[in-house]
Structure 1
Amino acid sequence: MALSVGQKAGWGLADLGINVFVVVKQLLVFAYMTTYLGVPPAVAGVLTFSVLAFDVITDPLIGYLSDKTHSRFGRRYPWMFVGAVVQAVGIVGIFMVPDGMSWQANAAWVMAFFALATLGFTAVTIPYGAMAGEMTQDPQERSVMMAWRMGFASLGLLTAGAIVPALAGDTKAGYGMAVLYVAPVMILAIWLSILATRRAPRIATPTGLGLGQMLRLVLSNRRFTLLVVIYGVLTLGVALIAAGLQLSALYLIVKTGGALAGLAAALGVFAGLFAMFIVGSVLSQAVWVMMAGRFGKLQALVIGIIAYTGVLWAIYTQLPSTSFTVMAGLFVLAGFCNGAYQQLPWAMYPDLMDVTRDESGEAVEGAFAALWLFGQKVANALAPLVLGLVLSAYGFLESSEGVVTQTETALDALRWAVTLLPAAIMWLGILMLVLIYRPRARGVHDARAA
């Protein structure tokens, strides 16, 4: 049975709420700790990475419990419903740090609520990702679902990446007030997605496999585990850009100059550039669906990531910049290329779920989603750690009062750490896709549609 437009769009709507937290953990937490809480960059990187230890336990557990859940609302919805609230409460807590504490106490406060928000995020995203393999087995329909998903995800990214910093006004207290406005949006987006997809096809019968059996079944799909690793590599490159973007906006880009300088004056450099990035991402979604249909999802992904590395090189040549307009144009292009990274792998991995379901007869989409998301979480946790260690090695100074004077060496390290280093990591991912993955997955993502 073909999905209705409302069901496909409704499934994508949840990602609006999900991606508010994605921006918080990838773009805002590291810069918030080093710029307003006085936490040294290396320590901030280690602490954000440490949340990964929490995920090592919760990801497979929630994937397992989601596959085993039996309720009148299905296997996935109860987790998403409660997880939305937990995630929102955690995000508000991150930015409600009391005044007058030491930087060590500030860091501990942030980490406690960061872990809570991560638990809620996991409870939403693993069941949500599993639904992509349950609602339809049509590859082209999945591509359209992912386009809707990324359209709404872009709105979530815009909400947290542009609106929150603009409302915050570059102050510690401002961030606390700003997240109070967006927390209800997160919850409503996820709850409305549940409502919109309640009549969509789903697998209601819990699997009879134990946790160990589930994991062995998922890991036996070698093409899937390889794709998890490759997408993790690509995610590390993207996450490095995200982790350093706010610091780059503060230290490497002056908002004077160019026709769009007024946008920077109204929103701030970071929020303005992020808005341009989202514009590019939204514009790209239909193009990447078309490219996937014409060339196949894998080939379209390779094309998009190669183009991404070219844009990063162009950004490197322009930094430090005194023209917001030039940077805004480059960020539109970066967002356009990022659309391939966002959309296409998410349309590819359910195809590999189908292979295991067809061969084994077991529906363990939650276990697949847990491993899929865990690979990305590893990369997202590593990125601020790598960035923090790089900046510390080159003498970048922490602050509790906003922008402070940095040495040329520190600023140059920030410059290449958010452009050339991510581009090099992405090229590693490209080579892995072309030389290792493609020979093993020939026809999997395209022949099923035919």
Structure 2
Amino acid sequence: MGLSIGQKAGWGLADLGINVFVVVKQLLVFAFMTTYLGVPPAIAGVLTFSVLAFDVITDPLIGYLSDRTHSRFGRRYPWMFIGAVVQAIGIVGIFMVPDGMSWQANAAWVMVFFAIATLGFTAVTIPYGAMAGEMTQDPQERSVMMAWRMGFASIGLLMAGAVVPALAGDSKAGYGMAVLYVAPVMILAIWLSIAATREAPRIATPTGLGLREMLALVMSNGRFTLLVVIYGVLTLGVALIAAGLQISSLYLMVGTGGPLAGLASALGVFAALFAMFIVGSVLSQAFWVMAAKRMGKLAALIFGMVIYTGVLAAIYGQLPAESISTMAVLFIAAGFCNGAYQQLPWAMYPDLMDVTRDQSGEAVEGAFAALWLFGQKVANALAPLVLGVVLSAFGFLESSGGTVDQSQEALGALRWAVTLLPAAIMWVGIALLALVYRPRAGGVHDARAPVS
């Protein structure tokens, strides 16, 4: 018997809360440190990357503990319930930086709360990702679940990427107040997801494997480890765009002409463009479900990423931009293509959980989710580091009071670092999908089972 609509939608609801932190770490932290805290770009990149050392320990540990947890609420829910609160506390703390400190003290403050938020994020997302492999073994039903997930994720992205900057305005203190409004929504979304899926199928019996045995079992699935690497490559391209998006809106949008000028005035350039990106992502979800059913998930992903690189090239050609309306159209297109990146791989990796479970008889979905998310965390942490090094190399200047005059060399580097460089990285991922992964996939992602 298939999942109910309420269970599919309820599972996806948690990603609303999860993606608030995704946007904070990918879009806002780097720009916040370099624009309002006086932290040099290269240092900001190194510091955000350094949190990855924390994840090296916490990701496999929480995956292991999640698989072995025994409680009346199951293996996953206790971690998600507590993690939601820890994540919210960390996010609020990131932007509540006291006035009057040196940039070094500012950076240290941000990193402490960034680590706290990351711990909460890990405690939520690893059990959450494991549930995708437990609730159903129908590959097409998973595609529908991921569409619900990305629909709610888009709301979370909009809250953090558009609403928070719009509420914050152009001040450090404004960001601290803005995140206070969204923090309770994050917690509520995750807790309501737990309530909505409490009757969904789940594997309640903990695995008896030790940590080393569990990780060895996951790593023995060669197709899964390969997909983790490839999705990490694609994530690096997307994360580079995200890391530089707010700075680009400040320095590469030189005018706000066109029919949408009023929207830019009301929300701010960054919030308006990000809202258009989310519109494209929301509109794309049904399309990518249908594409996965007709073409197979792997072929649909390759198709979406190829178009994505073309959109990035078009954006490069428009920068610096004087019309926000033209950029809005391109951002809708970019969001549409980004829907393939967001939805399809998350519908693919649980298919590979099934292979290992069928072969070994062990349910170690938490360990799978830990490695899956760690690959993305590596890419997301690496992107600000790469961007910071590139901008510093071309003389980009940090600030503690908003925008400052930048050289043409620095602006040119920013321009290609958020468009052509991500497109080139995506092409590496596309080539690996088509030439290396596809021959090994063996049609595991192309089942045509009916969706209830």
Q: Residue type matched to 1:372 in 2?
A: W
Matches within 5 A, 1:425-444: 425-444=425-444
Alignment of 1:363-382 (within 5 A): 363-382=363-382
* 1:73-112 equivalent positions in 2, closer than 5 A: 73-112=73-112
Q: How far, CA to CA, are the matches of 1:77 and 1:369 in structure 2?
A: 15
What is the letter of the counterpart of residue 401 of structure 1?
G
**Aligned counterpart, 2:31:** 31
Aligned residue identity for 1:78: P
Contact 1:387 1:417 in 2 (8 A): yes
Three-state SS of the structure 2 residue aligned to 1:213 is: helix
Unaligned runs of 5+ in 1: none
- For 2:378 and 2:170, locate their aligned partners in 1 and report how far apart those are by CA, in whole Å: 29
> Equivalent residue for 2:294?
294
Cα 1:28–1:427 change in 2 (3 A) is same
Distance 1:258 1:299 in 2: 37
Which residue of structure 1 lines up, in the alignment, with residue 61 of structure 2? 61
Secondary structure of the corresponding residue to residue 401 of structure 1: coil
Partners in 2 of 1:56 and 1:413 — Cα distance?
Answer: 31
Amino acid at match of 1:441: A
Aligned to 2:349: 349
Shift of 1:389: 0.1
Which residue in 1 is equivalent to 2:10? 10
1:289-326, CA deviations, whole angstroms, 9 ceiling, x for partnerless residues? 00000000000000000000000000000000000000
1:185-231 deviation line (CA, Å, top 9, x unaligned): 00000000000000000000000000000000000000000000000
1:245-324 → structure 2 map (5 Å cutoff): 245-324=245-324
Cα deviation, residue 254, structure 1: 2.9
* 1:74-108, Cα deviation, whole Å (9 max, x unpaired): 00000000000000000000000000000000000
Superimposed CA distance per residue, residues 25-77 of structure 1 (whole angstroms, 9 cap, x where no aligned partner):
00000000000000000000000000000000000000000000000000000
Deviations 1:142-201 (A, max 9, x none): 000000000000000000000000000021000000000000000000000000000000
Q: Name the aligned partner's letter for residue 143 of structure 1.
A: S
Aligned to 1:188: 188
| Paired residues of 1:312 and 1:419 also in contact (CA < 8 A) | yes
Task: State the alpha-carbon separation in 1 of the partners of residues 168 and 43 from structure 2.
Answer: 24
Residue of structure 1 equivalent to 2:234? 234
Return the offset for 1:255: 4.2
What is the RMSD computed on CA atoms of the aligned residues?
Answer: 0.6
- Give the TM-score normalised by structure 2: 0.99
Unaligned runs of 5+ in 2: none
Cα deviation, 1:366-402, whole Å, max 9, x if unaligned, reads 0000000000000000000000000000000000000
Answer yes or no: is the 8 Å Cα contact 1:255–1:261 preserved in 2.
no
Q: Aligned equivalents of 2:352 and 2:184: distance in 1?
A: 35
Say if 1:311 and 1:330, in contact at 8 Å, map to a contact too. Answer: yes
Kept after mapping to 1: 8 A contact 2:48/2:385 = yes
**Aligned position for 1:175:** 175
SS at match of 1:256: strand
1:21 matched residue in structure 2: 21
CA distance in 2, matches of 1:448, 1:371: 27
Contact 1:312-1:334 within 8 A present in 2 as well: yes
Letter in 2 for 1:299: A
> Pairwise mapping of residues 67-216 of structure 1 onto structure 2 (< 5 A)?
67-216=67-216
Q: 2-side partners of 1:383 and 1:356: how far apart?
A: 32
Contact residue 233 and residue 425 of structure 1 kept, 8 A: yes
Aligned-pair identity (%): 86
- Please give the per-residue CA displacement for 1:106-130, whole angstroms capped at 9, x wherever unaligned: 0000000000000000000000000
Aligned to 1:384: 384
Q: Secondary structure at the match of 2:401?
A: coil
Give 1:8 deviation, angstroms: 0.1
Is the 8 Å Cα contact of residues 255 and 269 (structure 1) preserved in structure 2? no
What is the letter of the counterpart of residue 96 of structure 2? M
- Give me the whole-angstrom Cα distance separating, in 2, the residues matched to 1:203 and 1:256: 53
Give me the whole-angstrom Cα distance separating, in 2, the residues matched to 1:114 and 1:447: 40
Task: Report the CA distance between 1:446 and its aligned residue.
Answer: 1.1
CA distance in 2, matches of 1:277, 1:351: 29
Cα distance, 1:47–1:350 mapped onto 2, change above 3 Å: same
Is the CA contact (8 Å cut-off) linking 2:240 and 2:418 kept in structure 1?
yes
CA distance in 1, matches of 2:356, 2:108: 42
User: Counterparts of 2:402 and 2:446 in 1: how far apart (Å)?
Assistant: 50
1:41 maps to which residue? 41
TM-score normalised over the length of structure 1: 1.00
Structure 1 counterpart of 2:393, one-letter code: A
User: Is the 8 Å Cα contact of residues 255 and 265 (structure 1) preserved in structure 2?
Assistant: no
Distance in 2 (CA, whole Å) between partners of 1:443 and 1:101 is: 57
Letter in 1 for 2:359: E
CA contact (8 A) 1:94 1:113 kept: yes
Equivalent position SS for 1:322 = strand
Matched letter for residue 382 of structure 1: L
The one-letter code matched in structure 1 to 2:165 is P
